[in-house]
Amino acid sequence: MDFDCDYRGKLFSYPIDAYLMIQIEKLYKQFDGTYVLRNIDAEFHVGKTNLIIGESGSGKTVLIKCMLGLHSIDSGDIIYENGRLKDLDSDSLIKLRGQMGMVFQGSALFDSMTVEENIAFPLRMHTTRSRQEIMDMTESIIQRVNLHNNNKKLPNELSGGMQKRVAIARAVVMKPKYLFCDEPNSGLDPYTAMLIDNLIAEITHEYQITTIINTHDMNSVLEIGENIIFLKHGIKNWEGTKYEIMTSSTKDVKDFLYSNKVFRELGKYVNQKPPDID
């Protein structure tokens, strides 16, 4: 299976839409006899911010770990553009993982490495590029995430928002096809969180990445939720866009969305009946 082929307009070993980069079919996952994911169907398209939302314990993190191949599944399929995840041999799985970027909840930067060393780390570990090529690529992505003149700083010299930018830069420096983000704006103030959300969305569109974001932050949902999947007790309860979620009639979605007083007030405004016009 050739994982280096361009996905645009070409045929693959599995008949999947060129712009449908990941497909999940009837996925089940259990631990110790208890199902944490049941009958999940989902589609994630290229160049979109795909959000997985739900309360704590709803199965969001388990679903992402299944997609990363960190958890085996009990039944169903996870299909990437080139084939079914469970059918890949070890070499093909390594190649697939080389096309993935990951932004961890706590950024997971190396404390003893500078900004540029953290970002260059995947290039040094997983490519045979020259030192100059690595430095050029690192500097380019540093500029892209607006970390100018911070190359030599250590993580403890950076603000929380700047650390997230380094984590994003490290995740995309190899230009992955897939970007997974676990609560990427956790612990940030609302304004900085919005900047990080928008940076992820911009890079998703600019690099045409299939981005999957695990979050419970409704600000993120309404800011960048182009495709949203809502999980409840391990079941996909609802799917739609950031525009559709505000007017959803699904009770569980409404309870989740309007658990915050500000959003309850916003919901009253969005869902109020328009006045009659003579």
Token pair 């290229």 is at which residue?
46
Where do the structural domains in the chain lie, given as residue ranges?
1-99+176-266, 109-175
- The reported pLDDT for the residue numbered 2 is 35
Distances (CA, A) of 198 to 32, 60, 66, 244, 273: 39, 21, 26, 20, 31
Q: Please state the φ and ψ torsions of residue 71, each to the nearest 5 degrees.
A: -115, 135
The string of pLDDT tens digits covering residues 139-178 is: 999 999 999 999 999 999 999 999 999 999 999 999 999 9
Inform me whether the pLDDT recorded for 273 exceeds 90. no
Separation CA 61–CA 182 (nearest Å): 8
Cα separation values, 177 from 14, 57, 114, 224, Å? 17, 28, 26, 19
pLDDT (mean) for 103-121 = 94
Contact status, residue 60 vs residue 52, Cβ threshold 8 Å: yes
**CA 125 to centroid of chain Cα atoms:** 23
Q: pLDDT tens digits for 205-258?
A: 999 999 999 998 889 999 999 999 999 999 999 999 999 998 888 999 888 887
pLDDT at 276 over 70: no
| 1-99+176-266 topology per CATH | Rossmann fold (3.40.50)
